[in-house]
Amino acid sequence: MVREPVMLGTAVTARVRHAEPVMGTVVSFDVPVTARHDGSLDAAVRWLHWVDRVFSPYQADSDVSLLARAEVTVDGCAPEMAEVLAACAFVRDLSGGYFTAAPGGQFDPSGYVKGWAVERAAALLARAGSADHLVNGGGDVQCAGGRGPGADGMSTAPWRVGIADPLRPGRLALVVEARDRAVATSGTAERGAHILDPHTGSPAAGLASLTVTGPSLALADAYATAAVAMGPARARDWTASLDGYEAYAITDTGDTWQTPGFASHISPD
Amino acid sequence: MRRAILAVIATVAGLLALLSFKTHSSERTTASVQPAPSLPKGERAVTGNVANTAYGPVQVQLVVKTITAAGGKSQAGTILKVNILEQPSATQEDTQIGQYAFPKLIAETLTAQSARIDAVSGATYTSGGYLKSLQSALDNGA
């Protein structure tokens, strides 16, 4: 009886892509095929839907809605609510109030929740054993490891994350090389001016988009939102002061600037 | 080739947020790989399923070029063009989708491919039906 040869130790791991409509956007995954087999991809998707149910301001019976109407206390919500509130308060204080969990006057922590949920989804995959994966929550990206074998076949090349150019639809402003890193972009261009300056209640102006990269997507996303609310002058100094996070901005007039450490993350090609 | 193109499209998926994604959309037709006699040699058209979105049916077609390496084994695919075959047009909002969102998404699809990127970071926006339909084209033939 002839047995088929068994291939052992192959260097290439098959990968799976998955796009999940959730939280009013699409969250896409690039994961090793093992994440499908061991159930961690499913678990990450279920986690996102759970977050959507608990934190959606559009569902009348979500914890966020109940809390906004003062029908429950924080203690009566999912334990993650306290974590989200603490994080929102942290970014609010760090940003001089330009980030808030009540941007329109009404309690709505959505500005923090999406990035946080995507970061946690990526962490869930890592805990299940995945070394290399990317989760993109409608334009806010959390990377772990790299995209696959590098040119030498041994090392792992970093993920390549394109930064959309808000003034030239369909074009990229530049490409960031990301390894174990998040890339988040906020802007005024895509849905009109939807980021408010909490100090004035008026729509933020001046920055077409601002990208923040750093270890945590939850923080990078919240920092990007705060910086856009600040406007270009204030945002430049503030983002430069952030520890471990770098920023790249495109103004309404097409000017660009970046924090000193951002250049090292730009792909040369 | 299939995987390469799927990767490109799933990449684009990352930047797409939804208009209003109907998760229970039913596929009305099956995809077909058309011989497309008018296309140059090595190019072919791949037509996706009709995706029923909250705004109406959407169907896309890709024109794909296959490059076969020496030896004939390894193949690479390039998306040359994205055609929108069917799109919602009943309301003013639908028209805006057609005039603004689709051209933008098409351009981003092609840009993503040429820049060899894995994901796009940008301010969130919409597209459900397009993505679903485009992906079905790829799933079925690319």
Each residue's pLDDT tens digit, B19-45: 223 222 333 334 445 454 577 777 888
Whether A46 is in a domain gets the answer yes
Q: Which residue of A has its CA nearest to B117?
A: A160
Whether A7 is in a domain gets the answer no
- Look at the block and give the residue holding tokens 């989804």: A121
Distances (CA, A) of A78 to A50, A147, B13: 11, 35, 31
Whether A6 is in a domain gets the answer no
**Mean pLDDT of all residues in A227-245:** 96
Structure confidence at residue B53 (pLDDT): 65
More confident residue, A22 or A207: A207
> A141-144 contacts: CB < 8 A, separation 24 or more?
A141/A178, A141/A182, A141/A183, A141/A184, A141/A217, A141/B14, A141/B119, A141/B121, A142/A118, A142/A182, A142/A217, A143/A178, A143/A179, A143/A180, A143/A181, A143/A182, A143/A183, A144/A180
To 10 degrees, the CA torsion angle through B25, B28, B31, B36? -130
- Residue A162 amino acid letter: G
> How many A/B residue pairs have CB atoms within 8 Å?
138
The 10s digit of each residue's pLDDT in B73-131 is: 545 567 777 777 877 776 666 666 666 666 666 666 666 666 677 888 877 644 444 44
- Look at the block and give the residue holding tokens 């988009």: A209
**Mean pLDDT of all residues in A186-208:** 76
Least confident stretch, A99-103, A194-198, A215-219: A194-198
Q: In chain B, which residues have their Cβ closer than 8 Å to the Cβ of A144?
A: none
User: Given an 8 Å threshold on Cβ–Cβ distance, is A26 in contact with B18?
Assistant: yes
Distances (CA, A) of A120 to A186, A191, A197: 20, 26, 28
Structure confidence at residue B83 (pLDDT): 78
DSSP letters, A36-79, are: HHTSHHHHHHHHHHHHHHHH-TTSTTSHHHHHHTTSS-GGGS-H
pLDDT at residue A125 is higher than 90: yes
Structure confidence at residue B14 (pLDDT): 34
Q: In chain B, which residues have their Cβ closer than 8 Å to the Cβ of A183?
A: 119, 121
pLDDT at residue A229 is higher than 90: yes
User: Which among B6, B111, B121 has CB closest to A171?
Assistant: B111
Phi first, then psi, for residue A241 (nearest 5°) are: -85, -10
Distances (CA, A) of A63 to A67, A141, B84: 6, 26, 41
Structural domain tally of chain B?
Answer: 1
Supply the CATH number for residue A107's domain.
3.10.520.10
- The alpha carbon of residue B23 and the mean position of all alpha carbons in its chain are separated, in whole angstroms, by 18
Whether A11 is in a domain gets the answer no
Q: How far apart (Å, rounded) are the C-alpha atoms in residues B59 and A264? A: 41
More confident residue, B99 or A213: A213
Residue B46, beta-bridge partner list: B33, B62
pLDDT at residue B8 is higher than 50: no
The 10s digit of each residue's pLDDT in A19-42 is: 788 887 778 899 999 999 999 999
Residues of the domain holding A242? 16-265
**Mean pLDDT of all residues in A161-169:** 83
Structure confidence at residue B17 (pLDDT): 27
pLDDT at residue A225 is higher than 80: yes
Are A144 and A40 contacting, i.e. CB atoms less than 8 angstroms apart?
no
- Look at the block and give the residue holding tokens 């076969």: B68
Structure confidence at residue A203 (pLDDT): 82
User: Given an 8 Å threshold on Cβ–Cβ distance, is B122 in contact with A164?
Assistant: yes
Q: Which residues does A204 contact at the CB level (< 8 Å), separation at least 6?
A: A188, A193, A195, A196, A197, A228, A229, A230, A231
Q: For residues A216-246, b (16+ Cβ closer than 10 Å) or e, as one string?
A: bbbbbbbbbbbbbbbbbebbbebbbebeebb
pLDDT at residue A250 is higher than 80: yes
Structural domain tally of chain A?
Answer: 1
Q: B82 by DSSP, 3-state: which?
A: strand
Residues of the domain holding B131? 2-141
**Mean pLDDT of all residues in A5-11:** 44
Structure confidence at residue B100 (pLDDT): 62
Structure confidence at residue A14 (pLDDT): 84
Q: How far apart (Å, rounded) are the C-alpha atoms in residues A21 and B17? A: 8
User: Which among B18, B104, B112 has CB closest to A21?
Assistant: B18
| A15, A147, A156, A172: best to mutate for the B interface, most B CBs within 10 A | A172
Contact of A145 with chain B, judged by CB distance below 8 Å, is answered with no
Distances (CA, A) of A261 to A177, A230, A248, B91, B113: 13, 21, 10, 47, 28
Structure confidence at residue B128 (pLDDT): 47
Q: How many Å from the N-terminal Cα to the C-terminal Cα in chain B?
A: 7
Q: In chain B, which residues have their Cβ closer than 8 Å to the Cβ of A163?
A: 120-122
How far does the CA of residue B120 sit from the closest CA of chain A (Å)? 5
